[in-house]
Every structure is written in C-alpha cells, then in structure tokens.
Amino acid sequence: MSGIDLTLDRIHVLFNILPRYDRPTCHIAGTNGKGSVSAFLTSIFRSASPSYRVGRYNSPHLVSVYDCITIDDVPVSPEVYGAARTRVEKANEEHKTGATSFEVLTLTALQVFQDLKVDIAVVEVGMGGRLDATNVIPDDCILVSGLTAVDLDHQAFLGNTVADIAREKVAIARPGRPFVLSPQQHASVSLVAQEYCEKIGASLVQALVPSIRPWNVDADGPQKTNPKLTAEHFLSPEPQPVQISLRCFSEPLKALLPLQGEHQLTNLGTALTMVSAILTDPLLASSSLDLHSRITPTTTSKGIRSTVWNGRLSFHKLSTPQSNKDLLVLADGAHNPASSATLGAYITDLLSRISNAESAEPRTITLTYILSLSHSPPKTPLQTLSPLLPPTFSSSNIRLISNVALLRFTPPEGMPWVKSVSPSDLKSTITSLAPEAEVWVASDEASPEGQLKEVFGWVGEKHARAEEGLVVVAGSLYLVADFYRLLGESNV
C-alpha cells in the first residue's frame, strides 16, 4: 500500500514483531510549528553537559529521505537507514501486513533510534495524531507530548472544523504524562485538550511564551544593521533577545532566538515548557538520563542559540548566469493560510525595518514570489495565498515591483499521492490577488524536473538591473526541497 489510510492496525502488528522500541521519546503534533519545536528540543538536548545523543524524526523529508531521520542533527547514513528499512520491509512482506510507505518509514526511524541507542528521541507526527503511525510508540516511552498551533488543514482526513482536527491531534497525549499545549487562536482547541487530558489522566500544561527583552551589547554582542536588500550587503537577521521564567530554573532564562518570525516565540516557549515539564516530573527524578545536572540555564541558552531549521524563513544567496550579482532568496515552507499569514507578516516587517534603517531617498525593491502548491481540497489556492499576496507594505520612499512565478514541484520520493496544483489554475488566483504583478507560468504538461532552474533564469533577468530585491520561495516544502537541491548544484 502507498496512499494515506489512517489506522494503527497494520503498524501495531509490525511494531510488535520488530525488535522492542524503548527509547525515551518527546512526541509533537500540530498544524504549524511542530518542526521548529522539534529542532529546539534537539538542540537543547544536544547542548546538555554532557551532551545527549538525540534522534529526530520529521516528515516529509526535505532534500532526501535520509534527512527526515537525524542523529545529533546529522541525516542518518544510508547504511544504517538501509539496515533498519530492510528489517521492516522483510517483516512487512513475511507477515503480509500491507503497511503504507509512511508506516514503513516511521518504523524504520524507530528501529534506527533503537539500533543506535539514542538517549532521547524527538518524534514529529506526520498528520493528525490519533491514527498517525507515530502514535504506535508505547506510553512508557513518552517523556512528554506537545501540541503546537492547530488550524484548518488536511480536512479531508482530519475533519472539517478546528475542534474536529484538535480531537485527532490531542490524542497523542498519554495517561500519567505531561501534555504541553501551545497558545491557540481557536478556543475550541483548549477545550478539547482539557476534556481529553481529564478523560485519560494526562497532565495538561499550558505552554509559556518568552518575552522580548532589551538587547544587551555586553552579553549579546554588537547589533547588525542591513543597509540594503541585496545579496551583497544583506546580513542574516540578528537573533531575537528573549527571556522566560520556567519552573525548572530558579532564575529567568535569557537567550538569543535565531529562528526568525514572531511565531517562533511561541514555538520556543512550547519547547521550553516541554523541557521544564520533563525536569519537574517527579517520575523522572531518578531517571538514568540525569536530567537536572545535565540541563541547566547555561546549556539551555546555548541550545537555543544553536538551533537551525532550514526551509522556515531561511535566507540564502544564489547565483544565476542571467545576472552578474547573486540573488537574495527567502525560503519558507508556508503551505496553508496560517503559515502564509506568518510569512506575509514577516516580509512586511522585514521591508519596514529596511525602510526605517535607511535615509528618505527614493528606492525601488523588486519582490519576486516563486510558488507551487499541493493539491489538498477542500483547501484552495485562494485561501492559502490570500494572506501572502499582495504584500501589505507601503512606504513613502520605497516602490515595490512585484513578480510571481508559478510551477510544479518535483513529486516527493515515496509519496505518489502528493500532487501539485497546475500552474495554469494558480494563475487566475494570482491575477485576482496581485493584478499588477508580472506572472511567469510553467507549462502544465512540462515535467517538474528542471522547472525551478528555468524559473530562476527568468528571475535572474528580472533582478539583473534591480537596485534591491528579494526572491521568496514558498507554497510547499516540496518546492523548498527543490530549491535546496538547486542550491547544492554548482551552476544554475
């Protein structure tokens, strides 16, 4: 089987056949933010003294199937992956369980973590929670569960209301274990979480959110400024100085948050509250993990500062033959209305900061969006892109020139059911949202392979004479994956 068929029946059979999984595990569900939370947790655990060996499982993979399973933030080796996958596939064939490709991948990840005896596993739910393959992990392995922001997405599988979707996602909570709930825009999520946790005897913990503190030059170093929005002059945005009071530490924790966007304050708060829930859990007081002596305010701050999460408000430089200067590219996997709103708000904030940092001299900025969307009804392209286009920015001294390129992404390996929206169908949406933008549209019949390279040729021409410019790659993590593969090539 290869499609989406939500049930735990098949994977339970395989799980019980395979070598026993007993790694201490942090389990994370949510519509948006769960990947970032997993990255924070991984970095915090790795920065402990002495460091923990951390396995992390995220889906979908970014560039290759190996990068969805990492050991200490490094993709699993093909040899280790192959040995675990062969074991899972052999059991699947011998017992005729008919596991889906995602179920096989999930069990492969768990077997890798078991084979390498990771100290802590950080596992991200694929979709939903209650019937997601990752929910096969036994209760006694779970250190803490967490739920990030819940919104409408995957309604065809999870339900048509936020409350319905929340019921699927909160079902990763386990009896007697802490369940950390991120701040939610929809009140129904909190009600569903409270009801479910009371029903099964889980401990519901409301996630805290760090506050922005003043920049301290002595402790944080000198601040950077960005004189121009060009690849030559642009500096990676400085981290956000934050502080938070946690039950596990006697003093407020101060840190520098490197991931960009206001939403990362919430994601960091969720990760830190999950860490605090573990450190203050009396059942783990005598754990062999020796949590209290190894995770301190100093190591935690170091872990936060070291966090990397590619494809989420990530800046890169790319050269093209069509331009004598590098392109400045912002890659983000925004793929639903909520994440598009986050991306749109960040672009507006970035343009505002650039505008305020410069003199009042008139300037022109070329802003080009490269977009591809997954076909995921009932979610429509208009719903996804409305929060992003057109950019909600106005300035007396800055004129924006907007371009949009529409294409298909390369179908992800092992996920034949994932389809992109045809570029011609997307064009009508773009025309209605941003009528002044110049639009490049890939052929519906053309192979997705190589389309992004062709797009960047067009973008290079558009930006060749631009004073300043930014290229935004968004709409799907699969498109972002195509971009990272292109970035890895020596020439475009």
Taking all residues of the chain, what is their mean pLDDT, rounded to a whole number?
92
* Side chain identity at residue 78, one-letter code: P
Q: Is 190 in the same domain as 66?
A: yes
Q: Does residue 117 belong to any structural domain of this protein? A: yes
Q: Is 425 in the same domain as 300?
A: no
pLDDT of residue 488: 87
Q: Does residue 274 belong to any structural domain of this protein? A: yes
Q: Is 266 in the same domain as 371?
A: no
Q: Is 359 in the same domain as 477?
A: yes
Q: Is 131 in the same domain as 200?
A: yes
pLDDT of residue 361: 74
pLDDT of residue 492: 44
- 359 vs 410 pLDDT, higher one: 410
Domain tally for the chain?
2
Q: Does residue 465 belong to any structural domain of this protein? A: yes
Q: Is 364 in the same domain as 469?
A: yes
pLDDT of residue 4: 67
Q: Is 159 in the same domain as 290?
A: yes
pLDDT higher than threshold 80 for residue 160: no
Q: Could you tell me the two tokens for 209?
A: 């959110």
- Give the CATH number of the domain where residue 388 resides: 3.90.190.20
pLDDT, one tens digit per residue, over 466-491 is: 989 999 999 999 999 999 999 988 44
Q: Is 198 in the same domain as 331?
A: no
Q: Does residue 358 belong to any structural domain of this protein? A: yes
Domain boundary among 246, 276, 305: 305
User: What's the rounded mean pLDDT across residues 340-368?
Assistant: 85
Q: Is 194 in the same domain as 55?
A: yes
What is the DSSP secondary structure assignment for residue 66, as one 8-state letter?
G
When mean pLDDT is compared across 116-125, 149-158, 371-380, the lowest value belongs to 149-158
Domain boundary among 281, 305, 329: 305
Q: Which residues form the domain of 52?
A: 9-305
Give the CA radius of gyration of the chain. 23
CA atoms of 130 and 141, how far apart (whole Å): 17
Domain boundary among 305, 327, 346: 305
Q: Could you tell me the two tokens for 41?
A: 């947790």
Q: Is 240 in the same domain as 183?
A: yes
pLDDT higher than threshold 80 for residue 294: yes
Q: Is 342 in the same domain as 269?
A: no
pLDDT of residue 358: 55
Q: Give the sign of the dihedral formed by CA 210, CA 256, CA 309, CA 122.
A: negative
Q: Which residue has the tokens 């429509």?
A: 380
User: What's the rounded mean pLDDT across residues 88-103?
Assistant: 95
pLDDT band at 2 (very low <50, low <70, confident <90, very high): very low
Alpha helices in 170-321 (DSSP H): 187-200, 217-220, 263-279, 291-294, 297-305
When mean pLDDT is compared across 44-48, 265-269, 287-291, 354-358, the lowest value belongs to 354-358
What is the DSSP secondary structure assignment for residue 149, as one 8-state letter?
B
Q: Could you tell me the two tokens for 237?
A: 């945005």
pLDDT higher than threshold 80 for residue 12: yes
pLDDT higher than threshold 50 for residue 1: no
- 418 vs 179 pLDDT, higher one: 179
User: What's the rounded mean pLDDT across residues 155-182?
Assistant: 91
What is the DSSP secondary structure assignment for residue 374, as one 8-state letter?
B
Q: Does residue 4 belong to any structural domain of this protein? A: no
